[in-house]
Structure 1
Amino acid sequence: MARLPGFDLHMHSTASDGALSPSELVARAVDAAVEYMALTDHDTLAGLAEAQQAANDAGLTLIPGVELTCLWNRRVLHLLGLGIDPDYPGWKDYEARLAELRVTRADKIARKLVARGVPDNIIELARAQAGDGQIGRPHFARALLAAGVVSSENEAFDRYLGQGKPGDVKAEWPDIVESIDIIRKSGGFSILAHPTKYSLTFSRLRLLIAELAKSGIDGIEIGCPNVSRDQVGLLLRIADTLDLKISSGSDFHNPDMTWTRLGRFPAVESDRHLIYDFIRR
């Protein structure tokens, strides 16, 4: 198998909950010897134009992407759309719908946090953290830190925002079949993001992926932070059995997060890897 160029197919900018602007992200990717990168902001394509210009200037190949929040049997999943066409007309209404859902959820999170004694202006502080990007729980974590309520963003999730905590507010996200459909119509591949992060046993995860394959998903992300070599092997066997593509990415958000670095994730060698599709393009 030929040596692959440096690549990273999962990262976030200030268009959603990342700490770096799209152009800053491209510059950091170049420094990390990444030659193919996918910008996959949460529920928005807003950063792609800036990233594309920066990639053109730097001689780096940008793979337009997005990470869609969606539902499968009432369970929240994250679906990567890789190689999408940002100019596909259907994205405009889809993005507007997701933005409205995020604003509504943010207001609910703020009310629940204030009821637990955090400052009354927490929503304004979170919006300031989000800037022009899509607001999400990481912005509330930074707001709680800035307000002196917690000593770290991790503490914010442990006490207020993590699963089962007051700020863990659900939203009526689109069904995953709808998410798969718009990714396909816009020319992209639909990939289940970080499959080991959904608190499922491997038996249940195998069933989930099998059901998603029936719904038309193209593949699963295998090379991602904190996945073990044993998990890589198990996920590869699932991909082989179901004839699915595989993908890899750092899920990079912030340079201060030491657990993830651009272009750094467990190596997964397989002819099924999506990077070969993008190289051929």
Structure 2
Amino acid sequence: MRIDLHSHSSVSDGTEPPAEVVRRAAAAGVDVLALTDHDTVAGIPAAAAALPPGRTLVPGMELSCLHEGSSVHLLAYLCDAGHPELAAELRRIRDDRTIRARAMVDRLGEAGIEVTWERVCAIAGVRTGPMDTPPDPGASANVIGRPHIARAIVEAGAASDVPEAFDRWIGAGRPGYVARYALDALRAVELVRAAGGVCAVAHPARGEATPDGAVPMELIEQMAAVGLGGIEADHPSHDDDEAAFWRGAAKRLELAVTGSSDDHGDLTEHRIGCRTTAPEEYARLIEPATGAAPITAE
């Protein structure tokens, strides 16, 4: 059984609609796929409806978190989407993403980069009104993120590709960067558990919380104490030594070891299924979940 627990659709910063993501996963031989768009589960119904027979979809999302001002990402699975406190936090995060994105477009304009708000919204699949009004929050469930702005920067000719757009213009400390609201990482773990979900730290060697980019081990230990379920050790951005280190950390802390593609469609060259989670680790990870169940097509 091939299990990929981290993927994105055009509902957040992937390039393919949810239905196409699950079709591509099936074509790649993935039996169990988690759709984990940023701070939203809005793509789950469309993904579930397109699931080929015998394949399983794990409802999930990638939560935006902070630790001492630095970014930490948390993969949350099988939460009760109607949990009041979680739903309120997700709305706040998504609203702030829109505010932040508009501020970044304004900053890019001040730097002479011809990126328009309408174009960013179009890339994100969000309907909007005139330039002086924000998108209608009820018009689309899609979440505007920095990759949408990066793609607009590339279209404007100010960068050759998305990574360069981040490096030159919208990465932390760059001219177009604007900070955003995010959940405290420890509180996020507690909130996911309160909503009946389970969670794993995403790509822990590629955070922003230490000089070398790794999520601090002290934080991992604190999150484990309040309900963290796993560590995404096997990620395409991790080299062999990093993957081995985080597999060891997970085992030491008695957490599930997960592996995932973190596929974003065209942006990551359709790598879905390139990293996977062992069936026994998957079973261990989701065993405590009570908020929702995996969806299997008959």
* TM class, shorter-length: 0.7 to 0.9
**Which fold has the larger relative contact order, with Cα–Cα distance below 8 Å and residues 6 or more apart in sequence?**
2
| Equivalent of residue 25 in structure 2, options 5, 29, 39 | 29
Mapped to 2, the partners of 1:39 and 1:204 lie a distance apart of 23
Q: Secondary structure at the match of 2:243?
A: helix
TM superposition shift of 1:212: 2.5
TM superposition shift of 1:84: 2.5
| Equivalent of residue 126 in structure 1, options 120, 123, 144 | 120
Distance change in 2, residues 1:140/1:204 (3 Å): closer
Mapped to 2, the partners of 1:275 and 1:118 lie a distance apart of 48
Structure 2 counterpart of 1:235: 246
Structure 2 counterpart of 1:106: 101
Q: Secondary structure at the match of 1:182?
A: helix
TM superposition shift of 1:38: 0.2
Structure 1 counterpart of 2:13: 17
Please tell me the root mean square deviation across aligned C-alpha atoms, in Å: 2.4
TM-score, normalised on structure 1? 0.87
Mapped to 1, the partners of 2:258 and 2:6 lie a distance apart of 9
* Structure 2 unmatched ranges of 5 or more: 127-141, 294-298
TM superposition shift of 1:202: 8.8
Distance change in 2, residues 1:92/1:255 (3 Å): same
Q: How many aligned residue pairs are there?
A: 272
Distance change in 2, residues 1:45/1:114 (3 Å): same
Paired residues for 1:187-202 under 5 Å: 187-199=196-208, 200=210, 201=212
* Structure 1 unmatched ranges of 5 or more: none
Does structure 1 residue 153 correspond to structure 2 residue 162?
Answer: yes
| Equivalent of residue 165 in structure 1, options 174, 177, 181 | 174
| Equivalent of residue 52 in structure 1, options 48, 55, 60 | 48
Mapped to 1, the partners of 2:35 and 2:277 lie a distance apart of 20
Q: Which has the higher helix share?
A: 1
Q: Do the aligned residues in 2 keep the contact of 1:64 with 1:86 (CA within 8 Å)? A: no
Q: Secondary structure at the match of 1:70?
A: strand
Mapped to 1, the partners of 2:103 and 2:215 lie a distance apart of 31
Does structure 1 residue 68 correspond to structure 2 residue 75?
Answer: no
